[in-house]
A and B are shown apart, each in its own frame.
Chain A
Amino acid sequence: MATTATAPVSGPPRILEREPLVLNKHSYSWITNRVCGIVENRQPMIWWILFVPSVALFLVMAACFVYLVSTGVGVWGQKQPTSWAWDITNFVFWIGIGHAGTLISAVLFLTRQKWRTSINRASEAMTLFAVMCAGLFPAFHVGRVWMVWFLAPVPNANAIWQNFKSPLLWDVFAVSTYFTVSVLFWYLGLLPDLATLRDRCKSGIKKALYGIFALGWRGGNRQWNHYEMAYLLLAALSTPLVLSVHSVVSFDFATSIVPGWHTTIFPPYFVAGAIFGGFAMVLTLMIPARSIYGLQDLITMKHIDNMAKIILLTGTIVGYAYCMELFMAYFSANPYEGQAFQLRALHGPSVWYYYAMFFCNVIAPQIFWFKKARNSLVWVMIVSMFVNAGMWYERYVIIVTTLERHFMPGSWRVFDATWVDNWTFIGTFGFFLMNFLLFIRFLPVIAIAEVKGVLPQSNPHFDEHAERGTHELQPDMMGADSKPAAAH
C-alpha cells in the first residue's frame, strides 16, 4: 500500500496518518521496565569508561580553579585590550547549551508537540548541568570567589552598590531565575517517576531516598490534577525565561557602542543560536544514550529527524543574522562598523575563527535539507559536533576578535590563551559529562509517565471504531513495522 500511496482513489476518503511516537506497539509495563531498568541494573562497561575520565577532567577543572584563586586572575590570558576573553566566551557557550532543555520542556509543551516526551527529561537535566558549567566562569572570574555574593543587591558592610544600569547585573538575575525555575520544572516532572522507582525498590536506603524525593506521590486523581496545573503554569513561566536569559546575555554586548557588538538584531539572534547549540548538545548526548540503553523505540528516528530540522531552522536563522550584520555594516556606511566586519571576516588576525564559525553553524547544517542525512545517525552526529564547535567559535568571534582590534590601533594585541584557560574549559566538559552520567545512573532518563500519555492506548476512544477511510502513511516515512492500517 505504501508504494501506491500517492495515487488517487475513488471511494472511501483517504486519511494521512501520523507516524507513531513509540514504535512496535509497546505496553505500559515495557516502558516502565525499560526505563527503570537503566537505574536498577548494573551500568554497562561503557558507562565506567566514560565516567572515570569525566571525573578526572572535573578534578583538573577544580585544580585550575584552585590555582586561579590562589594565584590571581592573571593566570588567564586576558590582557588589554582583550579584557574579556575565554571566561565570558565559555559562559555564553554553556548558557546557550542550557536553552534546549527548557525549550523542549516548556515551549514544545505549550505548542502541544507530543514528541517532546521522549527527550524532555534528559534535555532538562542537561540544561541544569550546562547552566552550572556556565555559572562557574563569572563566579571565578571575580578572583576571590567567596565574595561572589556581592553580585546580589543585598545589604553589605562594604557599601557596595550594585550597578542596576549594567546588563551584567541583569545577567545575574536572569540566569539565577532561569536556573531556579528550571530546577523546579525538572523536579516537578520527576515526581511521578520517582514514585515509580520507589515502588519498585525492595527496601532499604534506596527506597527511603526515592520515597523522600517523591514527596508522597500516590498517583491519585487530585494529585494528577494539581500536578498538571502546576506543570502548565511552570511551562508558561519558563518560556519567557528562555527568551530573557539569552536576550540579556546579548545585551552585555549590544548595549555598548563597540562596532561589531552594537546591533539591534542581537537578542533574537542570540536566542536562536542558543536553541541551535542546545539541540546539537541534546543530540550529542542522546544518540549514544539511546544505543547504549536500547531506547530506539522510545527515541525514534522521527525524534532525531525533528531535532535535525530544528537545527536546520535555527542554523539558518543564525545565518540570516550573520548576513544581516554584514549587510548593515555595509549599508550603514559607518566606517567603524565596516572596518570591524572587514577585520572579522577579511584581514584580521583571527579570520579563521570567523570562517570556522560560518562553516560550522551555517554551511554544515544545510545537509539536513536531505532526509537521508537527517535519517543517518552518523551524519546527524557529525553535524551536531560541528554545531557544538561552531557555537563556541561564534562567541569567540564576537567577543575576542572584536576586542583584539578595538578603537586604538596602538594597543592592538592578539589574544593568546594560557594552559589554565585551556584546561579549565576542557575540565568543564568533564564536570558536565560526570553530572549527566550520574543523572543516568540514579534518575529515570525518560519521562515514563509522559511517554505513556502519548501512546495510542492512552486515548479513551482508542478502541472505538476508527474513522471510515483508508489510513495511510507517507511513503518512505518510517520503518517496515509501521505499515498502514487496512480500510474499514
Chain B
Amino acid sequence: MSSHSITLDDLPRDGERLDLAKVSKLNGALLVVGIAGLAVSVLYLFGFLGAQKQAEFAYSWLFAFFFFFTLTNGGIFWTMLQHVSNSGWSVAVRRFFENLGANVKWMAVFALPFILIPGIRSALWEWIVEQQHAGSYEGLATAAKVNHHLAILVAKHGYLNITFWVVRAVFYFGFLIGIIGLLRKWSIQQDTDGDFKHTFRSRALCAFPMLIYALVVTFSAVDWVMALDYTWFSTMWGVYIFAGGAWGSMAFSIIALSYVRSQGYLKKTVSMEHYHVMGKFQLVFTIFWAYIAFSQFFLIWYANITEETRFYLLRNTGGWWWLSNALVWLHFVATFVILLSAGRKKTPNVMNWVCGWILLNHLVDIYWLIIPERAPSLTSGKIGEALGYHGEPLLWLSGAWVGDVAAFGGIGGICAWAYLRRLAKASLYPCKDPRLLESVSCTN
C-alpha cells in the first residue's frame, strides 16, 4: 500500500457518476451491434429464412441466451455472496456485480422466443415434440407401448411437461429479478440516506434465498440445457453450470471495472488490492470448475454406463474432440498457470487480458454444452423427418454458425449497452456504505 493510508475524506462524499457522454462511442457501437444482431435474429426466429434455418437458429439463440444468462446469474451470486458473508473488501466494486445481475430483466425478454415461438422450442427440446405429438399423458403412455424409448418420457412426465416447464421459467425470472432488484434498490437508497438498515436487511435478504438461488440455477440449467437430450442426466449438472457462470461474471466485472477506471473514475476507491482479491476469486473458480468438470467426466467415464456416456461420446467425436480438449488445456490448465502469480493478479493490464481469455473460454464451454446437440437432433427423429433428413444423423451443420454470430451479437450488444447505461444511473460505488473505509483500505 501507499505510504499515505486513504481516508474517507479523500473520497467524494456523494460518490462518482459515470458520464454517459464520455463513453458514448462504445455505447453507440454496442447498440448498433445489438440492433443489427437482433434484426438478423428476427429473420431467423420467425422463420422468414425457412423452417430449416429457424430450427438451426434455435440452438444459436439458446447458446447466446445461456451464455449471457450464466454471466447475469453470476452477477447476482457475487452480490448475494458479498452481502451474506458480511464482506468488507468488496464494497468499492459491488456496483459492478449489482448492475450485471440487474441485466436479468433483459434475459427474461430474450427468453420469450423459447416460450412463444413453437418452431424454436420444438427444434430444441425433443421431449416437447413427442409430448405434443402424443397429445396427452395417456397418448404418450400408449405411444410408449410401440416406441419403447418413450417409456423414459412417460416416467418423467411429472417434471417434463409444458405447463410446469413454463411455470418454472416464470418463477426463475421472478425470483432473480425480484432479489437483485431489491438489493440494488436498497444499495442506491443508502447512497442518499446513509442508513445502516440497508446493509443489515440486504444481508438478511441474501441468507435463505441463497438456497432458492441454488435451486434456480440448477433447475434452469436442467430445463433448458440438460433436457436438450431428455435421456441424459447428471447430479453434478447444476454445480457445473454455477461454477462456470460465477467464473465468467467475475471476469466480465473486472473488465468493466478496468474500462471505467480507464475513463478516469474510481482512481482512489479501487486499488491493486481489489484486483488481487478478484484475481484470487478468479483462480479459485478456475480450480473449482475444473474439479467439478473432472469429477463429472471421470465418474461417467469410469462407470461406463451407456445411458450416461452419450453426452461425452458426442463431444469426443469428430471436431468436437478438439473443443473438449480446449476445455482441459485452455479453460483450465493455461488459466490456472497464468493466475498463480500474485504479481499478475495485481496488474490490471494483465488481468484485463486474462479476463478476456476467461470470457472466451466460458463461451467455448457454453458452445460445447449446447451446439453439439444441434446437428444430431435436427437430422434424426421426428424433427429430422419434418426437415427432410433421412439416414444417419449428422454431426455438424455447415452454415449454421452465421446464426450463432447474429444471436451472440444481438443479445450481447443489447446486454452490454444496457449494462453501461445502468452503471451511469447511480454512483459507481456505494458511497455511504458503512464498510466503505474497510474496502478502500483493504490489504491482503
Contacts from A to B (Cβ < 8 Å): 5-9, 13-16, 18, 112, 243, 247, 251, 254-257, 262-268, 316, 320-321, 324-325, 328, 330-334, 369, 461, 467-469, 472, 474
Known interface pairs A6-B195, A254-B299; A331-B200 also in contact (CB < 8 Å): no
- Contact between A328 and B7, CB atoms less than 8 A apart: no
* Number of B residues with CB within 8 Å of any CB on chain A: 52
Decide yes or no whether B207 CB sits under 8 A from chain A: yes
* Interchain CA distance A468-B9 in the complex, whole Å: 8
Collect the chain A residues with CB atoms within 8 Å of residue B151's CB: 333
Q: Which of B194, B235, B304 contacts A263 (CB 8 A)?
A: B235
Which residues of B in the span 1-51 have a Cβ within 8 Å of any Cβ on A?
A: 5, 7-9, 13
A15 to B200, CA, bound (A): 14
B297 — nearest CB in chain A belongs to which residue? A264
Near A by CB (< 8 A), chain B positions 154-210 give 155-156, 158-159, 193-197, 199-200, 207-208
Contacts of B200 in A (CB 8 A): 6, 474
CB pair B194 A325 closer than 8 Å:
no
In this assembly, does B434 line the interface, its C-beta being within 8 Å of a C-beta of chain A? yes
Contact between B155 and A262 (Cβ–Cβ < 8 Å)? Answer: no
Hey, which chain B residues are within 8 Å of A468, CB to CB? Answer: 7-9
Contact A14 B434 (CB under 8 A): yes
Asked if A14 contacts B196 (CB within 8 A), the reply is yes
- A13 & B8 in contact (Cβ 8 Å cutoff): yes
A-B contact pairs, 13 of them (CB 8 A): A6-B195, A6-B196, A8-B193, A13-B194, A14-B432, A15-B435, A15-B438, A251-B298, A267-B295, A267-B299, A268-B236, A268-B295, A467-B437
Beyond known contacts A7-B195, A266-B295, A267-B295: 12 more, CB 8 A cutoff:
A6-B200, A13-B194, A16-B435, A257-B305, A264-B295, A265-B235, A268-B239, A320-B211, A324-B218, A331-B156, A331-B233, A333-B152
Cβ-defined contact, A262 with B299, below 8 A: yes
Q: Which residues of B contact A320 (CB under 8 A)?
A: 211, 214-215
Structural contact, A469 and B299, CB atoms closer than 8 A: no
Instruction: Give the complex CA separation of A264 and B240 in angstroms.
Output: 11
Question: Contact between A328 and B8 (Cβ–Cβ < 8 Å)?
Answer: no
Tell me whether A324 and B235 are in contact in the complex, defined as CB-CB below 8 angstroms, given that A316-B211, A334-B307 are known contacts. Answer: yes
Q: From B432, which residue of chain A is reached at the shortest CB distance? A: A13
A295 to B223, CA, bound (A): 52
Quote the shortest CB–CB distance from A213 to chain B (angstroms): 32
Partner of B194, one of A8, A268, A369: A8
Contacts of B13 in A (CB 8 A): 13
B15 to chain A, nearest CB (A): 12
Per the 8 Å Cβ criterion, residues 102-123 of B in contact with A are none
Least Cβ–Cβ distance between B242 and chain A, in angstroms? 11
Question: Which residues of the other chain, A, contact B296 by a CB distance below 8 angstroms?
Answer: 264
Q: B235, A467: Cβ atoms under 8 Å?
A: no
Residues of A within 8 A of B195 (CB): 6-8
Residues A264 and B236 in contact in the complex (CB < 8 Å), given A257-B303, A467-B437: yes
In the complex, A481→B75 CA distance in Å? 39
Which chain B residues border A474 with CB–CB below 8 Å?
196, 200
Residue in A254, A264, A325, A461 whose Cβ sees the most chain B Cβ within 10 Å: A264
Interface residues of B in 294-316 (CB under 8 A from A): 295-296, 298-300, 302-305, 307
A328 with B234: CB separation less than 8 A: yes
B259-296 interface code vs A (CB 8 A; 1 in, 0 out): 00000000000000000000000000000000110011
Q: Is the CB of B8 within 8 A of A264?
A: no
> A45 to chain B: closest CB distance in Å?
41
Q: Pick the contact of B434 from A16, A255, A369, A461 — CB < 8 Å? A: A16
What are the residues of chain B within 8 A of A18 when measuring CB–CB? 88, 438
- Provide the residues of chain A in CB contact with B303, threshold 8 Å: 254-257, 262
Q: Are B207 and A369 in contact (CB under 8 A)?
A: yes
In the bound assembly, the distance between CA atoms of A256 and B302 in angstroms comes to 8
Q: Which residues of A contact B9 (CB under 8 A)?
A: 468
B 403-444 contacts with A by CB, 8 A: 432, 434-438, 444
- Asked if B194 and A14 sit within 8 Å, CB to CB, the answer is yes
- Residues of chain A within 8 A of B199, CB atoms compared: 16
Chain A residues with CB under 8 A of B8: 13, 15, 467-469
CB-CB < 8 A to A316: which residues of B? 211
Contact status B239-A5, CB under 8 Å: no
Is there contact, CB below 8 Å, between B196 and A16?
Answer: yes
Closest CB of chain B to A268's CB: distance in Å?
A: 6
CB neighbours (8 Å) of A472 from chain B are 196, 434
Which residues of chain A have C-beta atoms less than 8 A from B436's C-beta? 13
Please name all residues of chain B whose beta carbon is closer than 8 Å to the beta carbon of A255 when the two chains form the complex. Answer: 298-299, 302-303
Chain A's closest residue to B6 (CB) is: A467
Cβ-closest chain B residue relative to A266: B299
CB distance from A89 to the nearest CB of B (A): 21
CB closest chain-B residue, reference A464: B5
On chain B, the residues within 8 Å of A13 by CB distance are: 8, 13, 194, 432, 436-437
Most chain A CB within a 10 A radius of its CB, from B5, B156, B235, B432: B235
B residues less than 8 Å from A7 (CB atoms): 195
Give the interface centre of B194, B197, B239, B292 by most chain A CB atoms within 10 Å: B239
A300–chain B nearest beta-carbon distance, Å:
16
List B residues 314-334 near A (Cβ within 8 Å).
none
Is there a chain A Cβ closer than 8 Å to B381's Cβ? no
Please judge, given known A-B contacts A6-B200, A14-B196, A474-B200, whether A330 and B159 are in contact too, CB under 8 Å.
yes
Bound complex: CA A472 to CA B9 (Å): 18
A112 x B236 contact (CB < 8 A): no
Contact between A112 and B444 (Cβ–Cβ < 8 Å)? yes
Q: Which B residues are CB-close (under 8 A) to A333?
A: 151-152, 155-156
Question: Is B238 close to A, CB under 8 A?
Answer: yes
Q: How far is the CA of A324 from the CA of B296 in the complex (A)?
A: 14
Interface string of B216-233 (1 = CB under 8 A from A): 001000100000000001
Q: Which residue of B lies closest to A258 (CB)?
A: B303
Q: Are A15 and B235 in contact (CB under 8 A)?
A: no
